[in-house]
Structure 1
Amino acid sequence: MGRKDSSGCCCCCEWLCGCLFSCILSCIFQILCTILVIAALAAFIFWLILRPNEVKFHVTDASLTQFNFTTNNTLHYNLALNVSIRNPNKRIGFYYDTFEANANYQGKRFDTETLTPFYQGHKNTTVVNAVFQGQQLVLLGTDEVSQFDSEKTDGVFGISLKLNLRIRPKLGWIKVWTFKPKVKCDLNVPLKSNGTSSTAFEATKCSYDL
């Protein structure tokens, strides 16, 4: 009897294995697509139910009683700010785990204050106070010194407040993801002399960037 040729059987096995592998990959791909569609749909329904609104930041009051720049490049300052934070959401509260306030003049930071963490409930307005007082070496160029002198003559200084935050939303008993928005407030702050200033401070809305 002649020997039986096994090459046809091997080819058949390889074809079956390849077909099975392709079927498995196709099934995995379909499952992943289904999971993504369900997740997107769930997120959309979640958004429709909660309708989350952006938290709003305003500097409602500012008191500047000292702002002197000496010839040795030292800035002496005494600045107090009231920051109003409005949570307009009905079902979402916020944990402010980190609240860092940075005071800047002409793009240069001259002081940083770390405020106490807090929780803000639904439909709530919270006012926090940031006080910057002391002296700091600040290197200003010729044009920047000229701008300082001009603002000193006018009695109003352009000061920028930047807030570095770490926030956790809370929905019921669920504390979800942490995010770190950047908040910037460009202020025109009048300098007070003997308790009075040439103009009143105007409440300023801050920009909010995720």
Structure 2
Amino acid sequence: MSNLNGAYYGPAVPPPKKTYHRPSRGGGGCFECCCGCIFSLIFKLIFTALIIIGIAVLIFWLIVRPNVVKFHVTDATLTQFNFTGNNTLNYDLTLNITVRNPNKRLGIYYDYIEARAMYQDVRFDTEFFDRFYQGHKKTNVISRQFKGTHVVPLGAEETKELNKDKEDGVYGIDVKMYLKVRFKLGVFKTKTLKPKVTCELRVPLKSAGGGGGGGGFEVTKCDWDR
């Protein structure tokens, strides 16, 4: 044993394992982080814009205090309303309508006013009012006469209602108004809006002597259609 040269003759020593550093596939983490930041910023901007718009609307309302325009039929004169053969209606109806703008700062352009007279949900005449501008806190009176003949087909229920109106001497006539309006605030004007107004009337028929079978006409408030 003394003449051994010191070399190792035991089991082979395994070589050290080599480690490989693969490129990281997590490079998208930075991209996802950036996207998250962008989306968060967009959300905050939208939320802030909504708050600003809400505050602006509130301030506008507090300054302008817009009120609903009021329509009233103050007088309705019906001198003829009778049916002849073939459901032909002969009519003569005159209306006076007041339009009230209660707003202190808003003016109104009435660019188009169409009025449809209806009986038993059937239109028997259409008239148009002149266009006009209405200033702040103003009341205007508009008048029209509906006169002529028109075929109004009536079923059993409608004929029953007509006979009842004849007995009462008062006729249920609806007037539907189709408008095109613009609002003015200072030098600013809105786009054209197209509201509708319905006036449900009970109009007494005036006799040849000038009297009404059902008494006088009562002032009637018109409603805005939703």
Confirm or deny a common fold (TM above 0.5): yes
Counterpart in 1 of 2:222?
206
Q: Deviations over 1:55-99 (max 9, x none)?
A: 111001111111111230111111110110000111001111221
Question: Aligned to 1:140, what secondary structure does the other structure show?
Answer: coil
What CA distance in whole angstroms lies between the structure 2 residues aligned with 1:204 and 1:123? 21
What is the Cα deviation at residue 180 of structure 1?
2.5
TM-score by length of 2: 0.85
Counterpart in 2 of 1:77?
91
What is the Cα deviation at residue 113 of structure 1?
1.3
Q: Where do 5+ consecutive residues of structure 2 fail to align? A: 1-17
Q: How many percent identity over aligned positions?
A: 52
Counterpart in 2 of 1:91?
105
| Aligned partner (choices 54, 64, 68) of residue 78 of structure 2 | 64
What is the Cα deviation at residue 6 of structure 1?
5.7
| Aligned partner (choices 45, 60, 73) of residue 31 of structure 1 | 45
RMSD: 1.8
Question: Aligned to 2:142, what secondary structure does the other structure show?
Answer: strand
Please list every run of at least 4 consecutive aligned residues from structure 1 whose deviation after the TM superposition is greater than 4 angstroms. Answer: none
Q: Deviations over 1:12-67 (max 9, x none)?
A: x3111111011111101110110011001110111011111111110011111111
Q: Number of aligned pairs? A: 207
> Which deviates more from structure 2 when the two are superposed, residues 171-180 or residues 84-93?
171-180
Q: Where do 5+ consecutive residues of structure 1 fail to align? A: none
Question: Aligned to 2:164, what secondary structure does the other structure show?
Answer: helix
> Which deviates more from structure 2 when the two are superposed, residues 39-48 or residues 102-111?
102-111
Counterpart in 1 of 2:12?
none
CA contact (8 A) 1:101 1:130 kept: no
Structure showing greater radius of gyration is 2
Counterpart in 1 of 2:10?
none
